[in-house]
């Protein structure tokens, strides 16, 4: 049986690595193209991003690739009557399926490690490359056109020249929403990009500020913050480690508890003194808004944390579906078996997972249970087919 299991393991690994390489390469180029298109990156930056996009793709490609692998391997074995020969020798068919389950367990742990540690690291490096690219693009526009205008955020920058990252004789016109335009002039300035807060920070040296009413204020050093001309995607929950998610959830939980406690105390005081107008003042409305917004963030973080484990372990349930069905179909045409397995997963499993995820993010249901609904469905169906294979 050890010889048989080694034979199956080698076959599984060879097919899996080949399919994973092809599928990952295809999806990586799609991911890099979307990153470049959304951030205005050039070919040089695209090539730098490629090594960091690969880890982000693997948690999605591994389960589907593993399903295709078991369809190829066990479908071929059944089609060549190797499964029948094994049964005729008095060996339980589960001996042949066991290596696939072990492989699925290893890949589930690897996928969980990727989502928890590798993807946040990769996203940080992508943001670093995008930041550097933004600086190059922005400074290049100033170096070529001597002016950058952003009508959406109401500001423009004009310079006499650019020396490295230093702006020479810059002039800034900025109109804040609901305010009159202001004009800033300086002998020189440097740029800093703050992606986390979506801000362009200007450090100016020796200049003047003209405000409405022709008021001129001189300064030796001044720092001004403007909205980024091109918005970059902010850090999402999936780009955070579990430790960071837990830390943020604890902070939000303490804040929500403080708001609820304060609101309960104010309600008791208002009812005690008969001050019913106090229950409808701006403070109560602000607390309600904060509870609603922070509650949504808390639910999203909680959903992300539980969904990682559920989606990572989907490798195991995909094998539970694919291996017995491939043996029952006994076709060498693995694509037929794969489509027979994958189409129901695509039509039923992923919509159910997305529905449960959306309901969990809105706080309608608890993600601790909701995120496992899809896997439970696969468990029921897979157990039925596995029982048929073991019995017959």
- Residue 256: the pLDDT is 79
Least confident piece of the model among 4-8, 264-268, 306-310: 264-268
Average pLDDT over residues 256-265: 77
Mean pLDDT for 84-96 is 87
Task: With a cut of 50, say whether residue 231 has pLDDT above it.
Answer: no
Question: Could you tell me the pLDDT band of residue 36, with boundaries at 50, 70 and 90?
Answer: low
* Contact in structure between 35 and 49 (CB atoms under 8 Å): yes
pLDDT at 32: 67
Q: What is the pLDDT of residues 329-349, one digit of tens each?
A: 876 566 777 788 888 888 888
- Answer with the residue of higher pLDDT: 184 or 238: 184
DSSP characters for 165-228? Answer: TEEES-EEEE--TTS--EEEEEEEEEEEEETTTTEEEEEEEEEEEEETTTEEEEEEEEEEEEE-
Most confident of 226-240, 246-260, 312-326: 312-326
The string of DSSP letters for 315-373 reads: HHHHHHHHHHHHHHH--S-HHHHHHHHHHHIIIIIHHHHHHHHHHHHTTSS-HHHHTTH
Cβ 23 vs Cβ 61: under 8 Å: yes
Instruction: Tell me what pLDDT residue 233 has.
Output: 44
Residue 168 CB-density burial (10 A; 0-12 exposed, 13-18 middle, 19+ buried): middle
Question: What pLDDT was estimated at residue 232?
Answer: 43
Higher pLDDT, 95 or 139: 95
Quote the pLDDT of residue 191: 77
- pLDDT for 103-132, tens place per residue? 999 999 999 998 888 888 887 787 777 766
With a CB cutoff of 8 Å and minimum separation 6, the contacts of 271 are none
- Find how far residue 281's CA is from the centre of its chain: 39
Is the Cβ–Cβ distance between 319 and 67 less than 8 Å?
A: yes
Q: Are 216 and 210 in contact (CB under 8 A)?
A: yes
Mean pLDDT over all residues of the chain?
80
Secondary structure of 140-183 as H, E, C letters? HHHHHHCEEEECCCCEEEECCEEECCEEECCEEEECCCCCCCEE
**Is the pLDDT score of 212 beyond 90?**
no
Query: What mean pLDDT comes out for the span 196-207?
Result: 77
pLDDT category of residue 380 using cuts at 50, 70 and 90? very high
């Amino acid at each position: 049986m050890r010889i048989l299991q080694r034979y199956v393991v080698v076959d599984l690994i060879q097919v899996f690595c080949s399919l994973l390489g092809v599928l990952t390469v295809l999806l990586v180029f799609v991911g890099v193209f979307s990153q470049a298109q959304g951030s205005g990156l050039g070919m040089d930056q695209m090539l730098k991003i490629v090594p960091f996009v690969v880890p982000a793709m693997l948690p999605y490609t591994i389960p589907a690739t593993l399903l295709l692998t078991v369809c190829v391997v066990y479908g071929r074995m059944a089609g060549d009557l190797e499964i029948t020969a094994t049964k005729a020798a008095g060996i339980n068919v589960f001996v042949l399926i066991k290596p696939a389950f072990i492989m699925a367990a290893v890949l589930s742990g690897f996928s969980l490690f990727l989502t928890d540690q590798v993807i946040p690291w990769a996203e940080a490096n992508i943001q670093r490359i995008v930041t550097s690219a933004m600086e190059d693009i922005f400074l290049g526009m100033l170096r070529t056109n001597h002016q950058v205008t952003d009508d959406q955020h109401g500001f423009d920058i004009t310079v006499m020249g650019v020396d490295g990252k230093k702006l020479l004789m810059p002039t800034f016109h900025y109109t804040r929403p609901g305010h009159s335009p202001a004009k800033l002039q300086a002998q020189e300035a440097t740029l800093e990009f703050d992606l986390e807060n979506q801000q362009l920070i200007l450090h100016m040296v020796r200049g003047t500020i003209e405000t409405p009413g022709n008021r001129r204020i001189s300064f030796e050093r001044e720092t001004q913050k403007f909205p980024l001309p091109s918005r970059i995607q902010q850090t999402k929950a999936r780009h955070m480690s579990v430790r960071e998610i837990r830390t943020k959830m604890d902070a939000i939980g303490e804040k929500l508890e403080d708001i609820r406690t304060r609101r309960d105390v104010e309600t008791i005081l208002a009812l005690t003194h008969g001050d019913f107008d106090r229950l409808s003042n701006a403070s109560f409305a602000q607390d309600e808004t904060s509870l609603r917004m922070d509650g949504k963030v808390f639910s999203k973080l909680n959903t992300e944390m539980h969904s990682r484990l559920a989606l990572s372990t989907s490798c195991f349930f995909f094998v539970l579906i694919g291996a017995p069905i491939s043996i029952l179909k006994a076709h060498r045409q693995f694509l037929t078996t794969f489509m027979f397995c994958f189409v129901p997963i695509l039509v039923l499993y992923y919509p159910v997972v997305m529905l449960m995820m959306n309901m969990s993010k809105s706080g309608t249901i608890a993600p601790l249970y909701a995120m496992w609904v899809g896997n439970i469905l696969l468990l029921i169906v897979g157990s039925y087919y596995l029982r048929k294979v073991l019995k017959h």
